[in-house]
Amino acid sequence: MQAIKDAVHDYVDLCPLAADLLDTTPLQRLRHVRQLSTVALVYPSANHTRFEHSLGVYHLAREAAERLDLDDEDALRVRAAALLHDVGHGPFGHQTEPAIERHLGRHHDEVEDLLSATGVADVLADHGLSVPEVAETIAGEAEYGRLVSGDLDVDRMDYLVRDAHHTGVPYGTVDHGRLLRAFEYREGRLVLSEGNVATAESVLVARTLMNATVYRHHVSRIAGAMLDRAAERLLGAGFDPERFARLTDHELLVAFGEREATAEVARRLGERDLYKRAGWWTWEEVPEALVDNSYLDVRTLERKVAGLAGVEERDVILDNPGRPSIPESGAHVVVDGEVERLADVSTLVSGLGACAREQWRLGVYAPDEHVGAVSAAASEVLGTD
Amino acid sequence: MQAIKDAVHDYVDLCPLAADLLDTTPLQRLRHVRQLSTVALVYPSANHTRFEHSLGVYHLAREAAERLDLDDEDALRVRAAALLHDVGHGPFGHQTEPAIERHLGRHHDEVEDLLSATGVADVLADHGLSVPEVAETIAGEAEYGRLVSGDLDVDRMDYLVRDAHHTGVPYGTVDHGRLLRAFEYREGRLVLSEGNVATAESVLVARTLMNATVYRHHVSRIAGAMLDRAAERLLGAGFDPERFARLTDHELLVAFGEREATAEVARRLGERDLYKRAGWWTWEEVPEALVDNSYLDVRTLERKVAGLAGVEERDVILDNPGRPSIPESGAHVVVDGEVERLADVSTLVSGLGACAREQWRLGVYAPDEHVGAVSAAASEVLGTD
Amino acid sequence: MQAIKDAVHDYVDLCPLAADLLDTTPLQRLRHVRQLSTVALVYPSANHTRFEHSLGVYHLAREAAERLDLDDEDALRVRAAALLHDVGHGPFGHQTEPAIERHLGRHHDEVEDLLSATGVADVLADHGLSVPEVAETIAGEAEYGRLVSGDLDVDRMDYLVRDAHHTGVPYGTVDHGRLLRAFEYREGRLVLSEGNVATAESVLVARTLMNATVYRHHVSRIAGAMLDRAAERLLGAGFDPERFARLTDHELLVAFGEREATAEVARRLGERDLYKRAGWWTWEEVPEALVDNSYLDVRTLERKVAGLAGVEERDVILDNPGRPSIPESGAHVVVDGEVERLADVSTLVSGLGACAREQWRLGVYAPDEHVGAVSAAASEVLGTD
Amino acid sequence: MQAIKDAVHDYVDLCPLAADLLDTTPLQRLRHVRQLSTVALVYPSANHTRFEHSLGVYHLAREAAERLDLDDEDALRVRAAALLHDVGHGPFGHQTEPAIERHLGRHHDEVEDLLSATGVADVLADHGLSVPEVAETIAGEAEYGRLVSGDLDVDRMDYLVRDAHHTGVPYGTVDHGRLLRAFEYREGRLVLSEGNVATAESVLVARTLMNATVYRHHVSRIAGAMLDRAAERLLGAGFDPERFARLTDHELLVAFGEREATAEVARRLGERDLYKRAGWWTWEEVPEALVDNSYLDVRTLERKVAGLAGVEERDVILDNPGRPSIPESGAHVVVDGEVERLADVSTLVSGLGACAREQWRLGVYAPDEHVGAVSAAASEVLGTD
């Protein structure tokens, strides 16, 4: 069996299905999509890609399937889904996700069309798998799909550890060895076995701390917001959204660079010459209605702020992260023999919910030279205190 | 300058004072006192000692003092205190602490007598330091003493990372590089600089998760409780408490092995043939008055349980951890330019307080063959539900 | 002082000069040049860049300068040279180096023109440094230049450890803490102090083992050779060599993709659909004269092989690594009080020399479908046994 | 299945046999025998024990057996042998080995009597294994015994990595994931598969560098030699050699401390107040005949030196490491389809042989105050230049 050296899991042994899938275009493309997109602008070592992350998720899914003693067919399907779970991501992953959803009405884990249209479908067929069942598993819906996409899935078990390894920030080091040993199926549901409340809590804690220091670092958010607005201009000017969704990180930057409306963003991202914060408001400072604003509302507000500040529309970016959430709190754990929702048995989870709210910030960004004007205008338009 | 290789901090450079102190008997003795005492019975790799931990604390104190730009004299004193901070520990560290306090009325960080009576005093004098000022710094009282013994001190920065390295449990990996850079003095107080609420929280979180999985693992607690009762018998039979407090781990086991009243405990600890849990009650299940019981109360209850169960007195151990506390919550952090108590600005801290209470357990332990009888008797005597 | 988190050295503290240099275009460009270029095709986690490596080299140079007690001016210059030492690299680093040398007659560490023409010159001037002295230091020529570019320099101390961290291959883990403590200046020469023959040997050993498993892995060599030939076609078709030398990795792939003569290589590299080995000969199997062949000779041989095999010229690549060498063997070490050349006091070094020869391979590569024909033709043309 | 957390291999899953064996006295005893005995006097973090090492060897043996597809019975026997392979070690492992061999005529891997006389025999019988076949496997003799005790066995794969982890010295980090995947059986022999000459070399290199910096560090050798002489006095005074062989590290120190003839050594080791080097001669400086001296010859020479120097006999220790050897050079590797002896296909191996000779030192040790006199006398008596 072929084995690939990985910086996190040492060796990833490839089953024949995985070896075949790796050679397909959608998976090879992930070599050119960074796992943490613009985070490398803050943590320069964070250049790892969705390709190696996909290998890691495959590795963990495989071990989980063995420990859960899945039958051969289910195990094969789960492995395929794990390896393919990220092929639906556009360039820069989560940071172009809203733009893709607006223009294609499609979420990154809706991949049935994509799998059907590429060599992946043939590989799956060769190994006795159908595209729809793999696509459903990726979406977390088919049996055992929660292993791949659920509250406490192998996806986050890999990325937390991998992001820690490559950023150097230690908070993401969850104990995946213990999690793999704690998984069990009860009443048709993936749960953590007795004695693992702290194990589950540790994953939430890891993600909360990684959010604060890495995933939602303001510099990365600024770059991400700049990307989003440039993507909108590109797509608004007629760039084919299906083609957009299949670009790599650098192909997107090249596409930006070739068009006048976006060339400046390409330069700024390339040289880390980013917008600065003109506003950075806590949950308490922001009128609650604003949090649920649609994208169109946001763009309208940006225009208002720009007008009041006397700057170009593109000199104002309003970055609204929406309501904070903790998906892992829906995980299930066995406590005294009963399957319980983590949020019901752990008060730490509520503490983390409050923590997510404390970390929450609404951002307004502008070029360095307009920060003062935009800051004042934004306060007035948004009604922040 | 001499440098010592350390598994955690790579190299620890020794200043002349440290090189001289290392050769003294009280420090060399720490080579034979394990950092995590009985935890190695659960995590077999956890054999690291208070000697290497002391080197690590010295290393961090030295770097902190440099970054805080302490003057030479203060820096020297802080380094001495850091290196010597654990010399007051008895055999098996915290696990004989209550016995030593009962018999000597002395806490492990009251070390003035000890420093005076050994070669340490001469070394300190040679380097222009006085025993009392070093002893006060160790107790966290003299200027900058909070660096060595405070809410967020270099002691815990070292042990969390070191215990993670040697147990293999990843939760203790705090970001000490960031903490060192975040320390500042404001209004005569050691605080973490602006933007470091999450940094402080991460230390609490690390300790909470390490408590749950390592420090308060029930097997280690059982062994610790067995040690305490055997220590009590040894001291009760006339063993000199001052000599007791200076034994190493293995000297204590040998002392146990040589006396009939304690030989069985020596054998059991040596072969990991421990008492088992006859009771393991949560905070809610235990009458609150019980939690504040004195040691004498506890021993009286043990006798009652033994009587009711029809077993020897030494076949029952009641292990009462007392009220849960989170010392780090008193740490201070700068928020919006003001020095704030961490507990006042972080709701995660209150979540962790609740978490500490959820993890809390009152234990009753007995030899395997008496678990049934002791369990029933303990429920009745203690009034647990 | 600003600090940047690094996956290898934890935090890199930036002096004001470094903070200013980091914002210049030549350094920001290195974010887009991978340290190990095509090695990521074999070791998928190896996506680290010359940007973070440059930070690491800066970090080590700074610590070395402090330990060697350099005066402020020398230390400043050494730090600048360390941070800038790789700005002369073209896209894909060493793999386009021969093409750049052929077309510009310039080696990657000849950077005086580059430094002068960019914002770097202003930053250096602001901090009292001149471009020529920094450029000379980068080339290893000015005083203390051997720290940055010598037999045992901070450059290789960083890359060996960093490449190990990101590939997952453990062989590169040299003990840089010890090396930093072993450096001293004797008779105007950077040497390792008494007792460090094994320290020096360990660096050679690390590089030898990393060569065998990582740096000269045949898949990476094939991709590199394909890059070189495509670069030659691009430059031969009139692409400005100065512009070529300043491209990033992905800009080069885009340039390849836009031209018919190179589009196929762009696709093949993007999808990891590489040429295969049609020949892979050991040192003993290759006529010695061949090893010293010039690039033109090589191209002529390729044409001959292609003609004989009946394939297109571009379907044959002859990859001649030239004579093996071990630059570190020229390092100097103090033995019994005398400065000695490492090769003169270590027989392991001669073993490593032989080892380098054993690992040596001459490669001939061709598209999968032509491997048979090319293999036979190459044997005949080259006279390999 | 039970799993134990390990600092090196993360989790070690225990099969029922292993779980039962772990509870036996000979294995629990290994918790109190350090893996690197006196090395902790140089590398203070090196307190790991033969207990955790045995778990690690078991873990690797189990994975190797699975990958080699051994049948159930062979796999069970190999696992038992791996877990038990070190139970024959006396206190301080290799450092009392010569004393035990002199007095019991038994090597540490001759364990049949030991296994028969303890609870181990019952456990083996319960699982269908016989003591003799397990004992033979431990000695490397039964089928697949070379996996446990051979030229490139799982024993050294574990200890190199574990010693690196706990000392902090990076040189021991062999790629055990690759070695496990490279093992195969050919012609009844354990070999490394095609393409693994560098893999095998890396193990030799790791051990050579660990020898130089860790295993043969002079401070550890001095302490070891002091232990040996004290052991000889203890046994010479009638201490039962069978009981001696079963002591733990600390029990031996206590036994030393209780007897006048050895109390001083106990104190010196406890406080790291060691003898110093009065002689430290290279291979070239020592008359070759001396190297092959028997223990009795050595003791006679010590007496002569002591007489000439005018000191007590016990103030002189002559430490003769014997002829250097590289056991791994006998490993077998597949090269071009043929099984070859590593020494025959790797010139690096011969370089390492020379290296071992360069590192070789004959030591003479004495208390600090007698170093001068002993040094002069030793030169004269031994004829070193």
Q: What burial letters (b/e) apply to B177-197, b meaning 16+ CB within 10 Å?
A: bbbbbbbbeeeeebbbeeebb
CB neighbours of D311 closer than 8 A, spacing ≥ 6?
D366, D370, D373, D374
pLDDT above 70 covers a percentage of chain B that reads 100
Q: What is the pLDDT of residues A113-122, one digit of tens each?
A: 999 988 999 9
DSSP, residue by residue, D304-321:
HHHHHHTS-GGG-EEE--
Residue indicated by tokens 């090492």: D53
- Residue D145 · residue D137 · CB < 8 Å: yes
Cα B373 → chain centroid? 33
Secondary structure letter of residue D277 according to DSSP: E
pLDDT at residue A385 greater than cutoff 80: no
Among C31, C17, C19, residue whose Cα is nearest residue C78: C17
Alpha helices in B190-309 (DSSP H): 197-210, 218-236, 241-245, 249-257, 260-271, 288-291, 295-309
Contact D35, D162 (CB under 8 A): yes
| Helix residue ranges per DSSP H, A25-71 | 25-29, 50-67
The chains in contact with chain A, meaning 3 or more Cβ pairs closer than 8 Å, are: B, C, D
Minimal C-alpha gap between D119 and chain C (Å): 40
Token pair of D14, please? 């225990």
Predicted pLDDT at A250: 93
The tokens describing C67, both together, are 């330990």
The ipTM of this complex is 0.92
* Enclosing H/E stretch for C335: strand C332-335
Q: What angle do CA A216, A220, A225 make, to 5 degrees?
A: 100
Q: Is B35 helix (H, G, I), strand (E, B) or coil?
A: coil
pLDDT at C380: 95
pLDDT, chain A, mean: 94
Distance CA B182, CA B200 (A): 10
Model confidence at D1: pLDDT above 80: no
Distance between CA atoms of C218 and D237, rounded to whole angstroms?
Answer: 65
Question: What are the structure tokens assigned to A341, written together?
Answer: 């929702």
**CA B304 – CA B377 distance, rounded (Å):** 8
Question: What is residue A52's predicted lDDT score, i.e. its pLDDT?
Answer: 98
Which tokens belong to A308?
A: 């009041």
Q: In terms of pLDDT, which residue wins out, C288 or B56?
A: B56
Interatomic CA distance for residues A50 and A37, integer angstroms: 10
Q: Which residues of C touch B178 (CB under 8 A)?
A: 5, 11
What pLDDT, on a 0 to 100 scale, did the predictor assign at position B63? 97
**How confident is the model at residue C324, as a pLDDT?**
86
Instruction: Show residues of chain B in contact with C10, CB under 8 Å.
Output: 177
Cβ contacts of C146 within 8 Å, gap of 6 or more: C140, C153, C189, C190
CB atoms within 10 A of CB D210: 20
Q: Which two tokens stand for residue B237?
A: 């039979």
Closest by alpha carbon to D100, among D238, D257, D258, D228? D228
Q: What is the pLDDT of residues D230-261, one digit of tens each?
A: 999 999 999 999 999 999 999 999 999 999 99
Given a contact cutoff of 8 angstroms between Cβ atoms, the answer to whether D370 and D311 are in contact is yes
Query: How far lies A136's CA from each of A82, A110, A146, A152, A263, in Å?
Result: 12, 8, 10, 18, 39
User: For B177, which of C11, C177, C178 is closest by C-beta distance?
Assistant: C11
Look at residue C183 and give its three-state secondary structure.
strand
The pLDDT value given to residue B147: 95
Name all chains with 3 or more CB-CB pairs below 8 Å to chain B: A, C, D
CA distances to B11, C1, C59, C136 from C53, rounded to whole Å, are: 22, 20, 10, 20
- What are the backbone dihedrals phi and psi of residue A127, each rounded to the nearest 5 degrees, phi first? -100, 15
The tokens describing C325, both together, are 């060498």
| Structure token pair of residue B23 | 């050769």
In chain C, the domains with their CATH numbers are 2-168 (1.10.3210.10)
CA D252 vs. chain centroid, Å, equals: 18
Buried b / exposed e along B217-248 (16+ C-beta atoms within 10 A)? bbbbbbbbbbbbbbbbbbbeeebebeebbbbb
Q: Chain A residues with CB-CB distance to C under 8 A?
A: 4-8, 10, 23, 25, 28-29, 31-32, 34, 40, 43-49, 51-52, 55, 165-169, 248, 250-251, 253-254, 270-273
Distance from CA of C254 to the nearest CA of B (A): 40
Q: Which residue of B has its CA nearest to A349?
A: B351
Q: How far apart are CA B189 and CA B145, in angstroms?
A: 10
Q: Looking at the partner chain, which of B43, B49, B271 has a beta carbon nearest the beta carbon of D47?
A: B49
Chain D residues in contact with A5 (beta carbon < 8 A): 177
For chain A, which residues lie within 8 Å of any Cβ of chain D, measuring from their own Cβ? 3, 5, 10-11, 177-178, 181
Give the mean pLDDT of A55-64.
98
The strand pair at D332-335 and A2-6 is best described as unpaired
Q: Distance between CA atoms of B106 and B125, rounded to whole angstroms?
A: 25
Task: Please report, in tens digits, the pLDDT of each residue of chain C (385 residues total).
Answer: 799 999 999 999 999 999 999 999 999 999 999 999 999 999 999 999 999 999 999 999 999 999 999 999 999 999 999 999 999 999 999 999 999 999 998 888 889 999 998 899 999 999 999 999 999 999 999 899 999 999 889 999 999 999 999 999 988 889 999 999 999 999 888 999 999 988 998 998 899 889 989 999 999 999 999 999 999 999 999 999 999 999 999 999 999 999 999 999 999 999 999 999 999 999 999 998 899 999 999 999 999 999 999 999 999 999 999 998 877 778 999 999 999 999 898 888 878 888 888 889 999 999 999 999 999 999 999 998 7
C-alpha distances out from residue D287 to B337, D294, D371, D383, Å: 75, 15, 22, 7
Tokens (6 digits) for D375: 């040094």
Instruction: Give the neighbor-by-neighbor strand order of the sheet with C332-335.
Output: C183-186, C189-192, C332-335, C338-341
pLDDT above 90 (res D38): yes
Residues D96-121 have pLDDT tens digits of: 999 999 999 888 888 999 999 889 99
Look at B272 and D43 and tell me if their CB atoms are within 8 Å: no
Whether the Cβ atoms of residue B160 and residue B174 lie closer than 8 Å to each other:
yes
Q: What pLDDT does residue D385 have?
A: 73
CA distance A181 to chain D (A): 9
Q: In sequence order, what DSSP letters do the residues of A23-35 get, joined into one string?
A: TSHHHHHGGGSBT
Question: What is d(CA D51, CA D34) in angstroms, rounded to the nearest whole number?
Answer: 8
Q: With pLDDT > 90 as the criterion, what percentage of chain D qualifies?
A: 83
Who's near C240: CB < 8 A, 6+ residues apart? none
Q: What is the mean pLDDT of residues D21-48?
A: 96
Chains in contact with chain D (at least 3 beta-carbon pairs closer than 8 A): A, B, C
Nearest Cα neighbor of C50 from C144, C129, C159 is: C159
Whole-structure pTM value? 0.94
The order of strands in the sheet holding A361-366 is A276-282, A361-366, A317-319
Mean of pLDDT over chain B: 94
Q: Are C250 and C32 in contact (CB under 8 A)?
A: yes
Residue A327 has a pLDDT of 76
Higher local confidence (pLDDT), D328 or B331: B331
Cα dihedral sign for A147, A149, A151, A154?
positive
Instruction: Enumerate the β-bridge partners of residue B281.
Output: B362
- Residues of chain C with C-beta less than 8 angstroms from the C-beta of B60: none
- Test B167 with D7 for CB contact under 8 angstroms: yes
